[in-house]
Amino acid sequence: MRIVGKLAQTAAAAWILNVWFVRFGKDTGYRGGAATNMEEEFAEYGMSRNAMYAVGAAKVGLASAMLIGHRVPRLVRPASIGLAGFMLGALGMHAKVNDPIKRFVPAASVLALSATSALLHEPR
């Protein structure tokens, strides 16, 4: 089970870093409402540009902590729980704008990976 937790830890972190650094300005088909990039998506949710950058910094920080957690295990569980919390918020935002189920899939996937990481983490 330890390997499953580590795979979930790595996958959740990589997914978040991909979204915020590679896909930030792109239309992915999973953006909320009618948004075609991250800034439009946050506007769809009624959130400011500053809120977008704050959320992004927090998510990137948590994802980074999850990766650093391979060397510093005490970081894994709190970072995984924090990221899971943000993913619950993301699901709430998709619900707020009445998105189709397809658009919930990425957030639900990262939530599942983060929760798996937190639950299966075995501190050394």
Q: Over the stretch 91-100, which tens digit does the pLDDT of each residue have?
A: 999 999 999 9
Would you say residue 124 has pLDDT above 90?
no
Angle at CA of residue 112, ends 96 and 83, nearest 5°:
70
3-state DSSP: the chain helix, strand, coil percent, rounded to 5?
A: 75, 0, 25
Q: Return d(Cα 80, Cα 121) in angstroms, integer.
A: 9
**Phi and psi of 29, rounded to 5°?**
85, -5
Per-residue pLDDT of 98-111, as tens digits, reads 999 999 999 999 99
Which residues are CB-neighbours of 7 under 8 A, at least 6 positions away? none
pLDDT, residue 69, reads: 96
pTM summary value: 0.93
User: Does the pLDDT at position 123 exceed 80?
Assistant: no
Residue 2's pLDDT is 87
Contacts of 98 (CB under 8 A, 6+ apart): none
Angle (nearest 5°) at CA 103 between 106 and 84: 35
- Asked if residue 116 has pLDDT above 80, the reply is yes
Q: Tell me which of 27-31, 70-74, 103-107, 119-123 is least confident.
A: 119-123
Domain chopping of the chain, boundaries: 2-120
Question: Residue 1: what pLDDT?
Answer: 75
Taking only the tens place, the pLDDT of each residue in 19-69 is: 999 999 999 999 999 999 999 999 999 999 999 999 999 999 999 999 999
